[in-house]
Structure 1
Amino acid sequence: MTYDKPIKRIAVVGTGVIGASWAAQYLARGFDVVATDPAPGAEKRLRDYINRAWPDLKTIGLAAGASQDRLSFTADMSAALVDADFVQENGPERPEFKQKLFAEMDVAAPIDTIIASSSSGLTMSSVQVDCVHPERTVIGHPFNPPHIIPLVEVVAGAKTAPDAIARAMRFYAEIGKKPILLKKELPGHVANRLQIALYKEITYLIQDGVLSVADADDAVSYGPGLRWGVMGPNLQWHLGGGEGGIQHFMEHLMPRMVESMKHLGSPDFGPTLAQTIVDGVLAEAAGKSVDELAAEENRTLIGLLALRNVSKARAASAVAAE
């Protein structure tokens, strides 16, 4: 089986926060989107979310033909999938539920349609077990919110066909995402594991009285976090090696870092530490609601992504002119 048919119609299964954001993203890229969710009031919540997201999507830039009018909704999942060219699933993170859902989607969707899961923690091998055609099922895990953050983690299951993975990687790249391919399945995939690893040390430092909650946030967002938004830690160590680059870093600086790893802490996470973080975060939020903070974050992220694109374009022009 090949998965090279044109993708024009997207089915979004499950329209919670992640599903609604995906629907907004696909509409902004000029696709027909049919969404499905059995929950009462799901359609109104979905349309309200997309209305709120649309100004940000306009700022990012809409594709030709992008329109909210290209969204349709049905509570009948089989009807939503019957003509879908690509499926983005966003159901609850429960193994038994996902297995049943994927078996049902596998029956309903055309045989040459890829079915991608936004699952943040489950592996595709555990989800595809009851599918008749598991070869077209993949993990396509976004970073929240998908209509703004480019990252998508693409992971195969034990029975996923290489062609399906290759097509999913191409598709996400074609719509402006930054897909990364995980060569092995891991619970939680990669990006969340990196976040958890960093947060483990942050909570240890807070518990040990080294710094406050607000200072811990500033230490990341005004320090390495700024650099990580430009290039990842491996390239950063290349810069850190000076003229000798990464080779010098590995030979002369990495041994010190390995020694430092031995001193990283493990917090004793209990009610006291949890309350310390709650109190610190609420003080840092300074009365702003979660929705207000999220909107502020989205505006800043859009600006940063735009600046990054301008910088890349200028660098490419400079290289071409040489």
Structure 2
Amino acid sequence: MPPRRPRPCACQGAMTGRPGPDGAFPVLVLGVGTIGSGWGAWFSHRGLPVCLVDPGREPAAMQDAVAARLGQLRQSDIPGAEAAGDVTVAKSLRALPEGVGFVQENATESLDAKQALLRELEAILPPWTVIASSTTSLKASDIQAGCRHPERVLVGHPFNPPHLLPLVEVVAGHQTDDAAVGWAMDFYRAVGKFPVRVRKEVTGHVANRLTSALFREAVHLLAEGVATAAELDDVLTHGPGLRWALQGPWLTYHLGGGAGGIAAYLEHLGDTHPARWADLGEPELNDGVRRMIVEQVLAAYGSRPVPEWTGERDRQLEALLALKRIADPPT
């Protein structure tokens, strides 16, 4: 894959119509499943008008899903606008409100489906409107291929649940204009998110690659009988998981070196890592392993329905976010 080269916009005259990233323009949320409903609630919580479009879902179901998450936000201490933005449903992309200033696309994880939606969008929206895809693992370069205005297409990947977790990974494609990336970063900051620009396109971006590495080893340890699913969760939530909410791997090991920092850590303990890396598992997710995972997860958590666990997770995340607002130094 060749390195990404900044691509100047092919329509500089039309670019002047792009609103400021902190404007009160309508936001189009395209695809209103778990991720899209969370995005819709968040944008509304921050005071932006939101238009929902998802031909595969009933309007009332979309409204209810967004309203449930929005109600959670409005009752929380998570900063938002004094008045929530209106949430409306359009039957199709041909019925959008005027002045849509940003698109958050959350369609099914299919390259063909996303490309088809972008072709339809390009026939409706002005060329300056930034389009961000919530894709988990597809690349912006592939999504924007075939677009008439690929310079405004990028990845804006949230972490689930998007109405609570601040992270958004912003990834440019080979044809994405740097001005569009900068605008998207400013927009996400303006609506209270924590955008991180990923410097190179890779499958799964950054956060999901890290979590996939951990999940792979968790599968290996479970399959080998080293620990049960419940025990693996306990190890993380009562140990490194607590620290990870405050500091990532590099600060962790920098502090692990004591007064000498990361250099001292690498000098004294760095050589212990290759031995562990060499012993990490490469499990097969075959039928037998899948059955083992399902059996153990249900044994640990099957006594309560998933929505109850989801509600408890969200309440715990709200409490953790409140603590982080107190503990994190201002930037």
TM range (shorter): over 0.9
1:62 offset after TM fit, Å? Answer: 5.0
Deviations 1:199-251 (A, max 9, x none): 11111111111111100111111111111011111111011111111111122
Give 2:38's aligned residue. 21
Higher helix share: 1
8 Å CA contact 1:128–1:134 kept in 2: the answer is: yes
Alignment match of 1:107 (pick from 123, 127, 150): 123
Distance (whole Å) between structure 2 residues aligned to residue 143 and residue 60 of structure 1: 20
Distance (whole Å) between structure 1 residues aligned to residue 98 and residue 106 of structure 2: 18
Would you say 1:168 and 2:211 are equivalent positions?
no
Q: 1:285 to 1:134 in 2, by over 3 A?
A: same
1:267 offset after TM fit, Å? Answer: 1.5
8 Å CA contact 2:166–2:194 kept in 1: the answer is: yes
Distance (whole Å) between structure 2 residues aligned to residue 175 and residue 83 of structure 1: 18
Alignment match of 1:157 (pick from 152, 173, 184): 173
Matched-pair identity in %: 39
SS in 2 for 1:87: strand
Task: Supply the AA of the counterpart residue of 2:275.
Answer: E
Distance (whole Å) between structure 1 residues aligned to residue 139 and residue 302 of structure 2: 39
Would you say 1:51 and 2:84 are equivalent positions?
no
- The answer to which structure, 1 or 2, has the higher relative contact order (CA under 8 A, 6+ apart) is 2
Give 2:4's aligned residue. none
1:257 offset after TM fit, Å? Answer: 1.1
Task: Supply the AA of the counterpart residue of 1:222.
Answer: H
Distance (whole Å) between structure 2 residues aligned to residue 81 and residue 142 of structure 1: 25
Task: Supply the AA of the counterpart residue of 1:163.
Answer: A
Distance (whole Å) between structure 2 residues aligned to residue 82 and residue 100 of structure 1: 22
Alignment match of 1:217 (pick from 219, 225, 233): 233
SS in 1 for 2:282: coil
1:256 offset after TM fit, Å? Answer: 1.2
Deviations 1:132-166 (A, max 9, x none): 11101110011111100111110001100011111
TM-score by length of 1: 0.92
Structure 2 portions without partners, runs of 5+: 1-11
Task: Supply the AA of the counterpart residue of 2:46.
Answer: R
Give 1:74's aligned residue. 90
8 Å CA contact 1:111–1:133 kept in 2: the answer is: yes
Distance (whole Å) between structure 1 residues aligned to residue 258 and residue 57 of structure 2: 59
Structure 1 portions without partners, runs of 5+: 317-322
8 Å CA contact 2:38–2:162 kept in 1: the answer is: yes
TM-score by length of 2: 0.90
Would you say 1:180 and 2:196 are equivalent positions?
yes
8 Å CA contact 2:230–2:297 kept in 1: the answer is: yes
Would you say 1:145 and 2:161 are equivalent positions?
yes
8 Å CA contact 1:56–1:299 kept in 2: the answer is: no
8 Å CA contact 2:154–2:170 kept in 1: the answer is: yes
Q: 1:163 to 1:44 in 2, by over 3 A?
A: same
1:123 offset after TM fit, Å? Answer: 0.6
**What is the RMSD of the two structures over their aligned residues, measured on CA atoms?**
1.8
Give 1:319's aligned residue. none
Task: Supply the AA of the counterpart residue of 1:265.
Answer: G
Distance (whole Å) between structure 2 residues aligned to residue 189 and residue 31 of structure 1: 27
Give 1:320's aligned residue. none
- Moved runs in structure 1, 4+ residues, more than 6 A? none
Distance (whole Å) between structure 2 residues aligned to residue 215 and residue 62 of structure 1: 36
Distance (whole Å) between structure 1 residues aligned to residue 215 and residue 19 of structure 2: 42
Distance (whole Å) between structure 1 residues aligned to residue 173 and residue 242 of structure 2: 34
